[in-house]
Structure 1
């Protein structure tokens, strides 16, 4: 008995849904036919052709996927947001069964050709083309998600205590400022409410700025909106695996000044100092992906570079002292070879 009642309720619900669809379906179909019958996707949707079309632009930063320091690239997961008004897509909802909004594929409508200028993606445009939400007052909302690969100038002078500022510049590719005017959606810049934290980088902020630039090629002004992703490296890993070992070994080197040059303890300490080079090879491993070029001397960072220079001076100081005092016997040729070999390897590794 209960089974029959449940089956009856299911059939009744399906019947109601079918009746509702059959009533709404023809109105939406008729509306689409009327709107798109004479619609031209190449026409800029403005009532007065001398007026610029205002497009509200914003973005939501979902995740920082990777900071490619070697190739100087930033890979992010971002949702764009473009909103404009198309005067060709207006209707009275009472004439179409109360239909107030539609979802239309972007290839059937005009949409702003906004691209990221500093894109390094193979296809240049890394967005997924979703439907455009069109309302009866002509308002159009386009929110394409995408994986963006942008160029970013990496400056690791203060590695591992460095901050990076990576810009993402968006603008129309063919329309100038007199035809299409970009408006920043929020004065706070990018939306960070759904941001997923990164294990290596801490997000400081993402301000946005509108720019109007006149290029040498063209007399018309061009409008772009530039977002700056401000990130800071998390230093906990590098502090315990790089800075602390270097400081400890540098402290051991200071003990060498308290020992006589010919004492056995100094030789023992010298053997312990052989592990110093292994510590200094740590920056090479941690910065294997840094950018190559004329700024290669900056890749180790000034704090680590200072520690290395202090260690080299400490190692050379006892031998300089011997040269300044002729009464003290010079080290053997084997010691000289070892000194120059070690120091040469140290300087070459910088």
Structure 2
């Protein structure tokens, strides 16, 4: 009986091992078939009259604005497009409908941040120049989804011009820094492909930058950010006759706590504003000091335990 039970366990193990091994073999065969004779330097333009639709989305985890107007951001970037060369029939490959492929093995759009300050290591440009770090999710209909993370530096407007004769330029650091609202913009687009080759669209029709974690960021988007319904614009550069599309995300940032005429606003974790007037804040400080002094006074006048009868 014991021997029969062990044989049964062995057969089950062998069957499942063969099944798992076959699944891996099918994925390897699928990946080989997709990349065989694939030229990653060629844009998947199947029709000269129909550009490749590239959806672009941004998200941010943290923002910090310096006094010189340099905004440091930790961002995530989403790119989605279709490549007919990466389609397959799931029924031929054990009903597999998606696969992960190193982004370095396939064509990816050459999207850049036009107004980035830094193009060095871990920048947006660097993340796309070194696609070995990322896996692209490819589905059986040829849709490709690529998610990358990067650090981005852009310049924001932290100065203003006072109108009048000769217009005086004033550094906002001397006025309301760092409690003002500062205008920023991220401009993105293809570096070499014109609008006849790439049709740029916002990912999921989002005309804004998604904030993934507001609780750990020194700066936040203001409520009047991202007012443009259409963030995609066309421009013509001096070098070229073709039109190029650009995604322009315009927004304002403000410090997590802001000072108003009524007092100090502190941002709570649930993102609701708690208003503390200067008088109330002063009162709380005085109460805290009095409580501390009272505690010290009690400790000083208490007799030691060995003196108490």
**TM-score over 0.5 for the alignment?**
yes
C-alpha deviation, 1:199, in angstroms: 6.0
Q: Residue 35 of structure 1 corresponds to which residue in structure 2?
A: 34
**Would you say the 8 A contact 2:115–2:186 is kept in 1?**
yes
Aligned residues, how many?
237
C-alpha deviation, 1:164, in angstroms: 0.9
CA gap 1:119/1:191 in 2 versus in 1, 3 angstroms: closer
Q: Residue 90 of structure 2 corresponds to which residue in structure 1?
A: 93
CA gap 1:107/1:9 in 2 versus in 1, 3 angstroms: farther
C-alpha deviation, 1:32, in angstroms: 1.3
TM-score (norm 1): 0.60
The structure richer in helix per residue is: 1
Partner-residue secondary structure (3-state), 1:25? helix
Residue-by-residue CA offset, 1:131-179 (whole Å, 9 max, x unaligned): 1100110000011111111222323254454111211111001111111
Q: Residue 235 of structure 1 corresponds to which residue in structure 2?
A: 258
- Measured in 2, the distance between the counterparts of 1:167 and 1:214 equals 19
- Measured in 2, the distance between the counterparts of 1:93 and 1:174 equals 35
Residue-by-residue CA offset, 1:267-319 (whole Å, 9 max, x unaligned): xxxxxxxxxxxxxxxxxxxxxxxxxxxxxxxxxxxxxxxxxxxxxxxxxxxxx
**Would you say the 8 A contact 1:127–1:147 is kept in 2?**
no
Q: Residue 59 of structure 2 corresponds to which residue in structure 1?
A: 60
Gaps of 5+ in 1: 245-350
Partner-residue secondary structure (3-state), 2:55? strand
Alpha-carbon RMSD: 3.2
Q: Residue 221 of structure 1 corresponds to which residue in structure 2?
A: 243
Which deviates further from its counterpart, 231-240 or 173-182?
Answer: 231-240
C-alpha deviation, 1:237, in angstroms: 11
Q: Residue 127 of structure 2 corresponds to which residue in structure 1?
A: 127
**Would you say the 8 A contact 1:126–1:147 is kept in 2?**
no
**Would you say the 8 A contact 1:63–1:197 is kept in 2?**
no
CA gap 1:161/1:150 in 2 versus in 1, 3 angstroms: closer
TM-score (norm 2): 0.67
**Would you say the 8 A contact 1:176–1:223 is kept in 2?**
yes
Which protein, 1 or 2, shows the higher relative CO under an 8 Å CA cutoff with sep ≥ 6?
Answer: 2
Large movers: runs of 4+ above 6 Å: 7-14, 237-240
CA gap 1:147/1:18 in 2 versus in 1, 3 angstroms: farther
Which structure has the larger Rg over C-alpha atoms? 1
Q: Residue 22 of structure 2 corresponds to which residue in structure 1?
A: 23
Q: Residue 191 of structure 2 corresponds to which residue in structure 1?
A: 173
- Measured in 1, the distance between the counterparts of 2:156 and 2:67 equals 9
C-alpha deviation, 1:216, in angstroms: 2.3
C-alpha deviation, 1:81, in angstroms: 0.8
Equivalent in 142, 150, 154 of residue 150 of structure 1: 154
- Measured in 2, the distance between the counterparts of 1:116 and 1:222 equals 14
- Measured in 2, the distance between the counterparts of 1:90 and 1:8 equals 43
